[in-house]
A and B are shown apart, each in its own frame.
Chain A
Amino acid sequence: MSKKIVHYINQFFAGVGGEEKADIKPEVREGVIGPGMALNTALKGEAEIVATIICGDSYFNENLEEAKATILEMVKKYNPDLFIAGPAFNAGRYGVACGTIATAVKEELNIPAITGMYIENPGADMFKKSLYIIETGNSAAAMRTAVPAMAKLAIKMMKGEEIGSPAEDNYIPRGIRRNYFADERGSKRAVNMLMKKLKGEEYVTEYPMPDFDRVEPNPAVKDITKANIALVTSGGIVPKHNPDRIESSSASKYGKYDIANFADLTEADHETAHGGYDPVYANIDPDRVLPVDVLRDLEKEGAIGKLHRYFYTTVGNGTSVANSKAFAAEFAKELKADGVDAVILTST
């Protein structure tokens, strides 16, 4: 008898709908749906997806505990041999959902679980230590390579075979070191590596340094009633019709817009360019993402010194870490030069 797998996917991959359906509660369906079909084929009869659990990305992230508890109950009923979540590619909320639920299945139900995502997905950093996360490309176009890698690892785990190194089995390094017998001793390997480096040849380190990119908090604002406060957002608020055409996902630019003449953002003058959440609420009242109305009031009341004349904005949806870093490094210099004392950054 072939082994049983339960598969977790979001509303989008289930074909239920896009962002307008991101708030659906968990539901379970018998059999395979969406990417599960390709997974089933790649499992080559060694295992079969018996049920698919679908949950909206926003619902999961806004109701973590409830969603987790409900889904664990659903999984338990099928008593599967393995649990697969995603792949989530570079979808942030989906990645967090996949990592959270796969970790819970593994730790609370004692059922092996795997997922797949792009290295920059925030879920990858959060869960790579607790899970095998197959490293995928950054969009669903990479499904073709993600599915065979996930199926291969799934079969190995169900058969109790030894899992190879991250490079052999295509998962994101978990920071686990394992002893092995090398052909040459350490000193020789180190010198070989050094020689290659000196010659400008490619070499592979045996111990990559962890990348702890932390920035110490700045001292607090001394007198907020005199402070010049700027607004920044990754929620994609832009003047109506998005004059600079900031992309709805994987943004290649940011915008800087003058709000000197606005006491309130409205449907008539601003909107969101973001393609990663249901835009209805932000389009009706952009203050829901960029609170210009409240800050204007506080400015008038003297609770803050002033609201900075310009706000900076981009779309955080699938935008690379490198781009976001470059955008902010550039405009932070401007903010500093313009005498901004503090920033409120909002994210959706």
Chain B
Amino acid sequence: MVKEIERAGIPVVHICTVVPISLTVGANRIVPAVAIPHPLGNPALDANEEKNLRRKIVLKSLKALTAEVEGQTVFED
């Protein structure tokens, strides 16, 4: 899906837990997530902390969208 969106001419960022799969599939902008059943959350945290964590990941993905990349790039921090 990520490739078809890219092919249509829309920049896309892939937020996913298993980065090697995303690399194999061919995503260009990749942001690592937290865990498979809750990529953008962590039930061990309280609600506020959890939302902050989610916000951080979303902000990182916005940063990825505004960054020029050549080929596949994983945005680690």
Contacts and interface: CB of A to CB of B under 8 A. Distances in A.
A215 B21 CA distance: 16
Interface in A202-223: 213-222
Contacts, number: 194
A221 B54 CA distance: 21
Contact of A214 (B9, B10, B26, B37): B26
A46 interface: no
A22 B35 CA distance: 12
Contact of B66 (A221, A293, A314): A221
Contacts of A297: 55
Given A122-B21, A327-B1, A332-B8, A291 B62 contact: no
Interface string B13-45: 111111011101111110001011111110100
A89 B29 CA distance: 28
Contact of B37 (A227, A234, A277, A325): A277
A169 interface: no
B13 A345 contact: yes
B37 A96 contact: no
> Chain A: interface residue count, which band?
35 or more
Contact of A281 (B14, B41, B71): B41
Interface string A315-348: 0000000001101110011011000111111111
Nearest to A332: B8
Contact of A232 (B1, B40, B41): B1
A304 interface: yes
A74 B66 CA distance: 46
Interface in A38-80: 58, 61-62
Contacts of B57: 291
Given A214-B26, A284-B43, A288-B54, A221 B14 contact: no
A303 B67 CA distance: 16
A345 B12 CA distance: 7
Among B33, B61, B62, which residue has the most Cβ atoms of chain A within 10 A?
B62
A277 B1 contact: no
Contact of B28 (A215, A224, A287): A215
A126 interface: yes
Nearest to B61: A344
Nearest to A285: B41
B6 A217 contact: yes
Interface in A223-268: 224, 227, 229, 232, 234-235
Contacts of B66: 220-222, 224
A220 B68 contact: yes
A219 B43 CA distance: 36
Given A122-B24, A304-B62, A218 B9 contact: yes
Interface of A: 19, 22, 58, 61-62, 92-93, 96, 122, 125-126, 213-222, 224, 227, 229, 232, 234-235, 277-282, 284-285, 287-291, 293-295, 297-298, 303-304, 314, 324-325, 327-329, 332-333, 335-336, 340-348
6 contacts: A214-B26, A215-B26, A281-B38, A287-B54, A298-B62, A333-B8
**Top 9 nearest A-B pairs by Cβ distance?**
A288-B41, A328-B4, A332-B8, A217-B28, A328-B1, A347-B16, A281-B38, A218-B11, A343-B12
Interface of B: 1-18, 20-22, 24-29, 33, 35-41, 43, 51, 54-55, 57-59, 61-62, 65-71, 73
